A and B are shown apart, each in its own frame.
Chain A
């Protein structure tokens, strides 16, 4: 094993480094360049201007609250849902698969807009309803830091869920049984045994959501700006948007603080999960997750889950469907229902660019996620099982372009790809996607790898199994849930990817999110919603496909 690992690590560092360093190096060059492009005379001016801005301190505070808050909301909900789904006898388990995924597929900008329609202080539908009940004081204002955290937390819930759920389902029941034998209650077992053992997965989910919400733009712009709450992403946007000759070098200089924060988080994460052996739960003995009987709490808890799924799925999708039918954005009522038609659907389905975008996004989703997961598999293996200094480097590298705010990283890729023959081809998009969203494949796989004890591999080797045989017969089957999660995260992400696509897509390589953004910029919410629903269909089909294959593979073994 040592031999293969030594060859594997440098090779992977080269591949991942190439993928993620190229755009980042271009951005670093740009941040020190005296020109608008990446290549100019050296200057420190951009850093000085960026970090002496008096508004910066306040922006940092809001950013910390926003990202931490979103991470706690997303991870907390994910733990709750994953626990109920994998460890208890709650009814209606199929809902969980759906809950955790729909927000991945809804374009974030639309999700945010539908919450504005529901909760804006002037005439948000929920607020109007509360007022009718005479509950003026209960009216909520979405344009606040709390509003931002809730919406971003809900949007990032799938990321957290897909990291936590595989770990939860691979839990060794013996640990919990021992706890109960020693007289602890279910709740105490949960707090003292289950959660601590899940620490790597929980930390991974928190890290991932913090980094993602740091780069997120939809919620800060749609909900934060009207409430005049600025976070790092909107601050960077204002640097780029004020004036016509947008200075992306200066934006990159600000983005470096996001990069520094992410790298710190990764280092911290590695330190906190250093004693990997502690978290191994699938060893060779009696691996079988057990089911806890919820008894009387079964239906109340089920009601909570139904409520969450209503808020997460039914409401936004209903709003989306409704908007796709009305001629303009109307508050629901007799007038709106009288004016409904399929006009927007007809326009979208006849639009050749929208159809091409559907096709391209489907290819990129399937092809990109498959290539991405293969790469993630090897990288995760090295990160978890080799755990040398080099593997730490590999892990940090994998997060590089992911942790840059979207507006900036797209430009980094443009500066890079324009130097290559790949510029303005679909390959540029494919490579850019994998490079940026590698952590989506990597996180579920690493938290799955962490739980597989080396004994399993060693036993196979002792019995004469070669490294490839061991991988295929022992490791891979146990990783199936993690692989499926990673593939789903990547595929659904690629289908709705915007930040890179908006910079790299050209006539012929249009993709869905860019087409949706065009509709948004023209304020054509009806067409946008129709295309958004088509996008959800595509993603759903991909998820069903992935889960179907994963289910079969697990059964076989």
Chain B
């Protein structure tokens, strides 16, 4: 009996927003404000556009990935979570969902999005933090640009590669594991790739953030990095290697908090966030790869590229693989 009641309640929770999907702009305006916690950078233009369109104050709190869960759970436990809307990589959102931080909501604006982008009626993926081989186009000849990921193991790249530390950086770890699961497939070949890459003694940095600088200056020539820097760091001489294999990345997702202080404004914000207008701002100004159909960042040939989401690795898996990569990449 109890189980059924819980089930009914759950169903109602899921069904209710679907049934009354139209958010009341008046109610949202009456709430006057929406608070947005995000790990994404440079979203200010979207916040401003929302504010202009609806006259509702949109406040952006930036939390880096490593502090995201610690901060949200601390505030949540103390009853001081002021966020209405959260944005983070999928694994972070999943963990927060398991702690009861995320509410159900399916935005009507997500209509054209791929099916995999919303599995539970709570967490909505809207983009992929895509990873590619980024190189200095002034210093690398066209003929030398890698055509497959495995080309990176060519000894000509020895001492010329920069990448985030594969022992600790979760996105790089997930990407390397993603290569095995989606691209290279044969375990022996994948290990050969890792060994070859390690033999080229790549320089390690803490995260993706510091990867483009050494490529721009020519300290290194190529790196495992993000194509969005081609947009944000223009006119730096950066380009991406158009390999024959698909590009991969961790999905970026958004969701409303269970105890949102401004629930209507929160929904309106999510609707706007997923709209073509907002997605276009993100693609054009920040170089993000977004899931809104037909919207692409202004990067050559990116509209023809295949970009796939990586399977969500648990933290245990990330640590296990991190330790493994640490051994493989040891000097």
- Is A548 part of the binding interface, using a Cβ–Cβ cutoff of 8 Å? no
A36 in contact with B69 (CB, 8 Å)? yes
Number of interface residues of B (CB under 8 A): 59
Nearest-Cβ distance from residue B326 to partner chain A, whole angstroms: 8
B59 in contact with A507 (CB, 8 Å)? yes
A123 in contact with B218 (CB, 8 Å)? yes
Assembled-state Cα–Cα distance A55/B97 (Å)? 34
A518 in contact with B62 (CB, 8 Å)? yes
Q: Which residue of A lies closest to B88 (CB)?
A: A244
- Is B268 part of the binding interface, using a Cβ–Cβ cutoff of 8 Å? no
Asked whether A328 and B216 contact (CB < 8 A) given A221-B206, A244-B92, A246-B70, the answer is yes
Q: A498-535: which residues lie under 8 A (CB-CB) from chain B? A: 502-503, 506-507, 518, 520-525
B205 in contact with A225 (CB, 8 Å)? yes
A245 in contact with B69 (CB, 8 Å)? yes
Assembled-state Cα–Cα distance A295/B278 (Å)? 72
Assembled-state Cα–Cα distance A228/B74 (Å)? 33
A241 in contact with B66 (CB, 8 Å)? yes
Nearest-Cβ distance from residue B34 to partner chain A, whole angstroms: 12
Interface with B: A173-181, A414-422, A449-457, which one? A414-422
Q: Which residue of A lies closest to B44 (CB)?
A: A353
A225 in contact with B41 (CB, 8 Å)? no
- Is B265 part of the binding interface, using a Cβ–Cβ cutoff of 8 Å? no
Interface with A: B164-172, B239-247, B296-304, which one? B164-172
- Is A2 part of the binding interface, using a Cβ–Cβ cutoff of 8 Å? no
- Is B294 part of the binding interface, using a Cβ–Cβ cutoff of 8 Å? no
Partner of B322 from A228, A242, A411 at Cβ < 8 Å: A242
Partner of B73 from A37, A122, A238, A331 at Cβ < 8 Å: A37
Q: Which residue of A lies closest to B82 (CB)?
A: A424
Chain A 135-152 near chain B by CB (<8 Å), digits 1 or 0: 000000001000000000
A411 in contact with B219 (CB, 8 Å)? no
Partner of A123 from B64, B170, B209, B217 at Cβ < 8 Å: B217
Q: Which residue of B lies closest to A234 (CB)?
A: B206
Partner of B60 from A244, A245, A330, A507 at Cβ < 8 Å: A507
B318 in contact with A520 (CB, 8 Å)? no
B216 in contact with A226 (CB, 8 Å)? no
- Is A81 part of the binding interface, using a Cβ–Cβ cutoff of 8 Å? no
Contacts of A221 in B (CB 8 A): 206
- Is A243 part of the binding interface, using a Cβ–Cβ cutoff of 8 Å? yes
Assembled-state Cα–Cα distance A122/B202 (Å)? 13
A246 in contact with B67 (CB, 8 Å)? yes
Asked whether A244 and B170 contact (CB < 8 A) given A411-B70, A523-B210, A523-B233, the answer is yes
Chain A 433-463 near chain B by CB (<8 Å), digits 1 or 0: 0000000000000000000000000000000
- Is A327 part of the binding interface, using a Cβ–Cβ cutoff of 8 Å? yes
Contacts of B168 in A (CB 8 A): 237-238, 241-242
- Is A240 part of the binding interface, using a Cβ–Cβ cutoff of 8 Å? yes
Partner of A503 from B60, B67, B214, B316 at Cβ < 8 Å: B67
A241 in contact with B169 (CB, 8 Å)? yes
- Is B324 part of the binding interface, using a Cβ–Cβ cutoff of 8 Å? no
- Is A423 part of the binding interface, using a Cβ–Cβ cutoff of 8 Å? yes
- Is B196 part of the binding interface, using a Cβ–Cβ cutoff of 8 Å? no
B73 in contact with A36 (CB, 8 Å)? yes
- Is A248 part of the binding interface, using a Cβ–Cβ cutoff of 8 Å? yes
B229 in contact with A423 (CB, 8 Å)? no
Chain B 44-73 near chain A by CB (<8 Å), digits 1 or 0: 000000000000000111101111111101
Q: B222-263: which residues lie under 8 A (CB-CB) from chain A? A: 229, 232-233, 235-236
Nearest-Cβ distance from residue B282 to partner chain A, whole angstroms: 14
Asked whether A329 and B70 contact (CB < 8 A) given A221-B206, A225-B165, the answer is no
Asked whether A330 and B217 contact (CB < 8 A) given A244-B170, A521-B209, the answer is yes
Chain A 102-141 near chain B by CB (<8 Å), digits 1 or 0: 0000000000010011001011100000000000000000
Measured CB to CB, the residues of A under 8 A from B are 36-37, 39, 113, 116-117, 120, 122-124, 143, 221-222, 225-226, 228, 237-238, 240-246, 248, 327-331, 339, 411, 414-415, 418-419, 423-424, 502-503, 506-507, 518, 520-525
- Top 4 nearest A-B pairs (CB, nearest first) are A243-B315, A328-B236, A238-B168, A418-B78
